[in-house]
Amino acid sequence: MIKEKMKSLIMDMNLLIYIHDVIFLRDSNEEFITTSTYKELYESSILTAFKYLRLTKITIISFIISLMILRKISFNSLTIMYGIIFLVSVIFGILFVLTKEEFKLLTYQLKAKKAVQYALAHFNYEEFMYFLDSYLSEQSTKNYQKIYKFKK
């Protein structure tokens, strides 16, 4: 059951390497609990989101400030007013699209934290090495079967 849950939490090879490194550090370093890596792993999700959504925070704050400034300005012409509103809309539209990447990174980070926390709670280094060996063997067999079926 533990191995199946761990398999479901693994997203890519980079995460596997990171989990391996963290478990190795925990088992080889008695002061691991006092390190910044450990503290970051067990900080709340809200703090993690606050760290990873920098561009989003800046974009939202600047958008609100822009709206407040636009409300205070009186325009002489409708053309100028609509032109400025269009320009602001395009700029912030592009910025909001760019923030989508931050949300993908945050989602990955939160899932990775969950996987590392689970591994730390259920594996020591030796057990994780056995799990890693079986997991990689299983994955390579799946890939080999796909290639073999493709060649037929």
Residue pLDDT, tens place only, 42-79 = 999 898 888 888 888 888 898 889 888 888 887 788 88
> Percentage of residues in the chain with pLDDT exceeding 70?
93
State which H helix or E strand residue 104 sits in: helix 78-122
Q: What is the pTM of this model?
A: 0.75
- The pLDDT tens digits for 89-116 are 899 889 888 888 889 999 999 999 999 9
**Domain extents in the chain:** 54-127
Instruction: Give the number of C-alpha atoms closer than 13 A to the C-alpha of residue 113, restricted to the C-beta side.
Output: 19
Mind giving me the DSSP string for 9-55?
Answer: H--SHHHHHHHHHHHHHHHH-TTGGGSHHHHHHTS-HHHHHHHH-HH
Q: Residue 114: helix, strand or coil by DSSP?
A: helix
